[in-house]
Structure 1
Amino acid sequence: MTSDNQSIETDFDLFLVAPPGLEGVLCAEAREQGFRKAKPVPGGVTCSGDWAEAWRANLVLRGASRVLVRIAAFKVQHLAQLQKKAQALPWTQFLRPGIPIRVDASCRKSKLYHSGAVAERIGKAAAEAAETALSDGAPIRILARLDNDLCTISLDTSGEPLHKRGHKPRVNKAPMRETLAALFLRQCGYKGQEPVIDPMCGSGTFVIEAAEQAAGLAPGRSRDFAFQHMAGFDPNAWNEMRNAVTPSAPPLRFYGYDRDAGAVEMSRSNADSAGVAAWTDFAQQPISDLTPPEGTPPGLVIVNPPYGTRIGEAKKLHPLYHTLGKVLTERFSGWRVGLITTQPSLAKAAALPFTRDGGPIDHGGLKVTLYVTGTLP
């Protein structure tokens, strides 16, 4: 990161964006993947690395929503000062001539409180230096955050949010984001070495995520990123990095069930798109028919049932949750369970030995909580 002297270092502060409440879970993943100085902070994880590490974070991290590279931080209290400092930044080290840019700004507890004016000054300085244009649909996004008069400037190296991996062409209503599913699997203790069953699989997100992790498939293997449009990007080095992640067929299978035939068909299509169809099985069946697949060792059952978001709807779902809990208690001895829901009363209706793993997490505008069990007796 640069400071008031505007020097450029080989390493930058990388910021891995996480759903609020899951920063520690993402930090554990970042540390496992070898990212240096990984530390959970509100809204994400900070770590240290060069540009290649920013590329690698986009490629391999399953739980990050975005990867930001922080390029500058300085105190500022008026627009003329901001403009001068923005003009002094080495924009040509980051931006390519002719590649449009856009700036998003936020201001909090600062003398500069007009985010539009802040974005305008920084955008003008960057565009003039890099000989490019400002555009709302630009592939490069600059983020400016003013907090207590400290202006932090970052580049979004991801572009599209990282849950858009390009492997799920078909989705149902309010699908679970892949990044959130990966973090929930991690919270359930899943490490890619046991079978996973989702008895209400929807578009197959949990099953596909589990199979990808077991096979060692990089989540970012099939998509493009914003950093590919930035100065200094090396296509050969990037291809070499992607090709270095070598998957292998897991000795396990992963199962998804749904009472809706359309959801089963959707899941199969998505699994095929993700390259994990050979290791996944999807079938149409109700909860009452759920049993462990024959010859399958105990593993993890993870489920994201309906929530009943309107007044009175949740009570109607109690029998569904009760049936789920009864089936799991009677037939899944030795397995663990993870259940995501919005209301404690629904989790209670399952009558399983749940503990809450963390507080409520935002999912599509709703606050959901993961409830987990130990090994069922």
Structure 2
Amino acid sequence: MNTDASFEIFLVAPPGLESLLCAEALEKGFTGATVTPGGVTLTGGWPDVWRANLTLRGASRVLARIGSIRVMHLAQLDKRARKFPWADTLRPDVPIRVDVTCKASRIYHAGAATQRIETALKESLGATIAADAPLRLMARIEDDLCTFSLDTSGEPLHKRGHKEAVGKAPMRETLASLFLRQCGYTGDEPLVDPMCGSGTFVIEAAEIAKGLNPGRSRSFAFDQFASFDADLWQQMRRAAPPVTTTCHYYGSDRDTGAIRMSTANAERAGVGDITTFRHAAVSDLIRPEGPPGLVMVNPPYGTRIGEKKLLFAVYGALGKTLLERFSGWRVGMVTTDLGLAKASALPFAPPMAPVSHGGLRIHLLQTGALR
């Protein structure tokens, strides 16, 4: 198996947050990472693919672009797909599904193109095609060029493998980590989430502080590829011992069920020793002793949870508590509703462009150090 072969790797990011993911990739040593619409592109080999899945907190998926063929018509696609070196990457004993998109090409019928590629896989590799297969081959036919990509992640990367319990409107871990990065969070300061739900922001912050790899507890689609080297992968997983931190990370919520959830999730993630979750309304929020840090909060929006009218008082109480008790702390707030955010009376800078999340358009609002 040639682990040195180089190809294009595409890191999928939430639209609008590509530059944050690119900064993380460069920070983690992925040289040549560049922003492209919908994600980040870099060049590397299979070990880079594995390391990206293991270490990048903000990527939604990691795609490996394993090659391309020029195709003007379906007969040509049929012939050239049969000659493609599938066995370099795929195993005949692992079922696969095929997704095709066509754009600005003489081949415009995605269904017919899918059929040709599936037949090529069956007849040249001996592969089994299954609509529910965990492995996914994507073919994009654009300007008469068919590019083959493999989804190397499998389950979306926000599924870290630690969170068995989630709240009503959970923040995805990948998105939470990018918002933390946008707020300048690096792990060397305390964090408070006064509406912690299932604990996503607190747990992400604590994992960052400990230097824990986000993919350390889960499996990936790439371990079913012919190009997979199990020994090299195990070396990679063992390479990063946890870092000791003197900071602590706090969550509170008025829902006792949320506190049970977040406490259990933090224990599973291996950060129970540096996290504390407490049952409390926002008006009872206690400022931790020690240096100031970051308050990171994802309050209810009113679009899915609760009545919006009632939320103005909640945002108002949150803002009042932070302004009275959290001098020197910065605040990051995620919301769909700038009117609700305004009700907090917190001194937010102009919001960054909205980001799509679960069918909603959400804003990240930030303050400087509160006075």
TM-score range, shorter chain: over 0.9
Task: Give, as a single letter, the amino acid of the residue that structure 1 aligns with 2:311.
Answer: L
Of 109, 128, 131, the match for 2:126: 131
User: SS of the residue aligned with 1:36?
Assistant: coil
TM-score calculated relative to the size of structure 1: 0.94
Shift of 1:224: 0.5
CA distance in 2, matches of 1:157, 1:15: 10
**1:5 equivalent in structure 2:** none
Does residue 336 in structure 1 map to residue 330 in structure 2? yes
Of 292, 308, 311, the match for 1:298: 292
Of 6, 24, 32, the match for 1:11: 6
Does residue 155 in structure 1 map to residue 150 in structure 2? yes
Check the 8 A contact 2:139/2:146 in 1, yes or no.
yes
Q: Which runs of 4+ in 1 moved over 3 A?
A: 310-313
**1:85 equivalent in structure 2:** 80
The 5 Å alignment of 1:1-377 reads: 10-294=5-289, 296-309=290-303, 313-377=307-371
Check the 8 A contact 1:104/1:144 in 2, yes or no.
yes
User: SS of the residue aligned with 2:283?
Assistant: helix
Aligned residues: 369
CA distance in 1, matches of 2:27, 2:169: 30
CA distance in 1, matches of 2:45, 2:297: 38
Check the 8 A contact 1:70/1:153 in 2, yes or no.
yes
Gaps of 5+ in 1: 1-7
Identical positions, percent: 60
CA distance in 2, matches of 1:150, 1:356: 42
Measured against aligned partners, the alpha-carbon deviations of 1:109-141 in whole angstroms (never above 9, x if no partner) come to 333222222222122212322222101222321
TM-score calculated relative to the size of structure 2: 0.96
CA distance in 1, matches of 2:305, 2:209: 40
Task: Give, as a single letter, the amino acid of the residue that structure 2 aligns with 1:21.
Answer: G
Shift of 1:368: 0.6
CA distance in 2, matches of 1:310, 1:129: 49
Task: Give, as a single letter, the amino acid of the residue that structure 1 aligns with 2:341.
Answer: A
Measured against aligned partners, the alpha-carbon deviations of 1:269-312 in whole angstroms (never above 9, x if no partner) come to 10011111011000000000112112x21000000000011799
User: SS of the residue aligned with 2:353?
Assistant: coil
Shift of 1:9: 8.1
CA distance in 1, matches of 2:70, 2:168: 45
Change (3 A) 1:372 1:135: same
CA distance in 1, matches of 2:226, 2:305: 52
CA distance in 1, matches of 2:369, 2:122: 57
